[in-house]
Amino acid sequence: MAEARDIEVVVFDVLGTLVDEPSGLRAGIRDAVPASDDASVDELVAMWQRHVELEQQRIGRGHRAYVNSEIIDGEAAGRVADHVGLADPATIARLATAGQRLPPWGDSVAGLERLARRFPVLGLSNASRTALLRLSAYAGLRWHQALSAEAVVAYKPAPEVYQLAIDTAGCPPERVLMVAAHAWDLRGAQARGMRTAYVRRPVGDPPASSDVVDWRFDGLEELVTALTAR
């Protein structure tokens, strides 16, 4: 089990961990299809997320050539538009960028601000370079550097994505902490030798009983306190 003094660099997953992806997509869909009721919007969000997950998995398995998240989001927006009969090109184009307008969780901005005073802080996301830039600005997230998986033409949990963070950190992987609300993400980081911290979020993927992570926190404030209390 790692101790706080062992950590030199902190790496954060972004989607789901620091920003509320379902709420942002829900807002984008409501804007595009204002007549939809709550149940219909939830169904469309689920359709969007299923498409993204499936296509990223297909790319990871070599069943599809790499395309970045903006292209996949555009496909998801097209599916939503087809499902509801939306035909206006400008509305569909704006809907396709809904993933770049995601609200932060209530503790994300202040937590990153505090942590960045003590550690180099990296973002590590499957979002494309452009999407990551825009969603970081929209949510007000403070990074010392934000890394997109697009740089290695892969999606997490591919090992080369975590290696990108390790190489950028410039220290041994056991001194780099990966923070995420998704157990699958932490497993990928762990496989590259990184330390891991799970932060509970309403839309996360909690660790299973068989998972061994270095820390588990109920929120970002707990994590920051633990890392800075030294």
Nearby residues of 70 by Cβ (< 8 Å), 6 or more positions away? 96, 97, 128, 130, 131
- Tell me which CATH homologous superfamily contains domain 4-20+103-228: HAD superfamily/HAD-like (3.40.50.1000)
Domains 4-20+103-228 and 21-100 share a fold: no
What are the residue ranges spanned by the domains of the chain?
A: 4-20+103-228, 21-100
pTM above the 0.85 mark?
A: yes
CA angle 43, 127, 214 (to 5 degrees): 95
Among 173, 171, 153, 170, CA closest to 162? 173
Which residues face 218 on adjacent strands?
Answer: none
What is the residue type of 5?
R
Q: Give the pLDDT of the chain (230 residues) as one tens digit per residue.
A: 678 889 999 999 999 999 999 999 999 999 999 989 999 999 999 999 999 999 999 999 999 999 999 999 999 999 999 999 999 999 999 999 999 999 999 999 999 999 999 999 999 999 999 999 999 999 999 899 999 999 999 999 999 999 999 999 999 999 999 999 999 999 999 999 999 999 999 997 999 999 999 999 999 999 999 999 86
What tokens appear for 6 in the block? 């062992």
Assess whether the previous peptide bond of 157 is cis (omega < 30° from 0): yes
> Which CATH architecture is the domain 21-100 placed in?
Orthogonal Bundle (1.10)
